[in-house]
Amino acid sequence: MTFVSIKTWPHLDHPALVLGLEGWVDAGYAAATAVNALLESAQKELVATFDSDSLLDQRSRRPLLRISNGTHGGLTWPELRLYALTETGGRSLLVLAGPEPDFHWRQWTSEVVALALRLGTEMVVGLGAFPAAVPHTRPVRLTATATSQELAGRTGFLPVTMEVPAGAQAVLEVAFGEAGLPSVGVWARVPHYAAGTPYPEASARLLDELSALTGARIGTGALYEAGAKAKDQLQALISASEEHMAMVRQLELQADAELATPQAALTDLPTGDELAAELERFLREEGREGQGEAGAQGEGGGPGPG
């Protein structure tokens, strides 16, 4: 069984592959917004699609039916697609976007790696975001997981050891590393109390880091403007509650203390272990919640850290 269908073989310049799969943790819709903005930033070419009937559970990822005046107007099916962006002002970008597969992860991963290698991919960057104990009054900070500590250190990483459920994006990152390609997952830390609403600043920070890692020029001005408006609205809501204001002040103290502490010394801080424990707890609950939702719908797969 083969899942990939090739549409074209583009001419690429030292391409980097960007992973932006939907379905796992994406606080503030940061990664999804970043991928959409990236795809809209330059002319794109469809390189390949993947067999949705074999990879996706249609009961958990249902197609959209358009109805106009009582008449069926057609179905829009969820689909995994690989695009090429060649006019980025730097190296070419391949973008893998769409829903995280529900089935056949191992074989699908092997096909994606093989295709990326055939296209000459030189590095892989995954985008994601998770809720964290950080305040909205401070700039969004990033953390990374990578195939080497040197690569992770370019972005910064949490100096802790933990075990968390893996999304398909993480499986791809590991597989690319095993194939000899440098691979890094970049994660935005979004205030936990804002994780359920759009947080554009996190999307802008992800794209800025993607630009720094790959050399591609990506405009983020509009996202930063939207982020400033979103934070103003959030501040107005929080200001109405002294309890919420006290929480934010405490988070500010923790964030400022972390920023002032050299990364090498963070392992001595209790907050590092607390953050790891909180992140593990959140991801495990996300996994259980996804399984519960699937069971309620039938035999579907729920959200699946990438």
pTM score: 0.83
Residue 23 has pLDDT above 80, yes or no: yes
Please check whether residue 115 lies inside any domain of the structure: yes
User: Which pLDDT belongs to residue 272?
Assistant: 40
Please check whether residue 303 lies inside any domain of the structure: no
Domain extent for 171:
4-297
The DSSP annotation for 195-213 comes to: TTS--HHHHHHHHHHHHHH
Strands 183-191 and 71-76: unpaired
The H or E element spanning position 39 is helix 30-40
Q: What is the mean pLDDT of the chain?
A: 85
Please check whether residue 48 lies inside any domain of the structure: yes
CB-based contacts of 143: which residues, under 8 Å, 6+ apart? Answer: 155, 156, 157, 158, 187, 189
Please check whether residue 306 lies inside any domain of the structure: no
Per cent of the chain over pLDDT 70 is: 85
Residue showing tokens 């998770």: 130
Please check whether residue 302 lies inside any domain of the structure: no
Most confident segment among 30-39, 188-197, 253-262, 297-306: 30-39
User: Which pLDDT belongs to residue 287?
Assistant: 52
Structure token digits, residue 287:
């996994």
Please check whether residue 30 lies inside any domain of the structure: yes
Per cent of the chain over pLDDT 90 is: 64
> How many structural domains are present in the chain?
1
Confidence of residue 259 (pLDDT cuts 50, 70, 90): confident
Indicate which CATH number applies to the domain containing 84.
3.40.50.10900
Q: Which of 90-94, 156-160, 238-242 has the lowest mean pLDDT?
A: 156-160
Distance from C-alpha of 57 to C-alpha of 129, rounded to nearest angstrom: 24
Q: How much is the average pLDDT of 184-192?
A: 95
Q: How much is the average pLDDT of 282-293?
A: 50
Distance from C-alpha of 101 to C-alpha of 167, rounded to nearest angstrom: 10
Please check whether residue 304 lies inside any domain of the structure: no
The DSSP annotation for 91-105 comes to: S-EEEEEEEPPSS-H
Instruction: Give residue-wise pLDDT tens across range 63-107.
Output: 999 999 999 999 999 999 999 998 888 799 999 999 999 999 999
Distance from C-alpha of 189 to C-alpha of 157, rounded to nearest angstrom: 11
Q: How much is the average pLDDT of 2-12?
A: 95
CB-based contacts of 243: which residues, under 8 Å, 6+ apart? Answer: none
Q: How much is the average pLDDT of 225-241?
A: 92
CB-based contacts of 109: which residues, under 8 Å, 6+ apart? Answer: 168, 171, 172, 175
Residue of 301 and 274 predicted with greater confidence: 274
Please check whether residue 204 lies inside any domain of the structure: yes
Confidence of residue 256 (pLDDT cuts 50, 70, 90): confident
Distance from C-alpha of 173 to C-alpha of 195, rounded to nearest angstrom: 24
Q: Which residues of 33-58 are buried (b: 16+ CB within 10 A; e: fewer)?
A: bbbebbbebbebeebbbbbbeebbbe
Confidence of residue 261 (pLDDT cuts 50, 70, 90): low
